Amino acid sequence: MIEMQILGLSYDLWIGAILGTIISSIFLGIIGSARKAYLYWVTSRPPMLILGDVANNDEQCLIFIRHLFIQDVTPGTTPLLENVPRVGIGRVPNVRDLWPDVDATALADSLNVLGQAGKKRNIRITRMSEDNGEWNGHIIVIGGQSQKSLDFYELMEQVFYRMDNMNIHDARTNEIIPREEGFGYGIVLKARNPRRTGKPGVAFLIGGYGTLGTEAASYYLREHLNELGKEFRRRCFGIVVRASISAGVQSVERLREYDRVETDRAKIWEIFRRS
């Protein structure tokens, strides 16, 4: 029997080589896909844990932000000024509705946080001036001293801190959190929203004193989302952060001695408080 040869190699060797190449490619493809899936799982799991159902693209997330406006001096003009490089300072026409700069920064950080967990749809930004008491959904409140914030402290469950015009208070003990000169202070709260229809919703509050406090809180949440997800997972929590006024927001640090997290005892306390 004459054995077929191609380029000096037998037909069976060629078939074996081709099959080996195909199988190796498939195997490497599977390994590559598995590695990508693992990396995605590792990187996305902590944000998805901490955000919970907020990360579900089929469920609504409401972001509340302060709304400011400028009264017209004369029709079509406002006292709002703009500094344009190489041109100078001039009035801005036909712009009356504004967001505070710090709140807009916190809004951008919040959207970044949602994006880290894959949340892309069902996000609605609501001006607080147009809010008539809407709570039916997952909630993000930007700012710690607005009326919406005060309602958050009262209506949400597992709220560990609250703010007034003067201080940050431990919501359990009413203890005032001491603040040092030269720092801006902020809080990040994750609470439970019992006013959502059906299953309770997830509620976040990101706030602080002045521009640096709120910005420090949102910046910390954005930059440390994975860390917070690994530590607190699905539980409600409250943290206090601060940043140096001279060094800026990137100097933000978490004051870990004030970390508060949901426990079975906290659940019992919540039931007692509302009874």
Q: What is the pLDDT of residues 136-175, one digit of tens each?
A: 999 999 999 999 999 999 999 999 999 998 899 999 999 9
Tell me the whole-structure pTM to 2 decimals: 0.78
* pLDDT tens-digit readout, 187-218: 999 999 999 999 999 999 999 987 799 999 99
Strands 183-193 and 138-142: unpaired
* pLDDT tens-digit readout, 80-105: 777 778 777 877 777 777 777 889 99
Half-sphere exposure of 77 (CA within 13 A, CB side): 5
- Per-residue pLDDT at 41: 46
Q: Where are the beta strands (DSSP E) in the chain?
A: 5-6, 9-10, 61-65, 68-69, 81-84, 88-91, 97-98, 123-127, 138-142, 161-163, 168-170, 183-193, 201-208, 237-244, 253-254, 260-261
| Kind and range of the H or E run holding 230 | helix 225-232
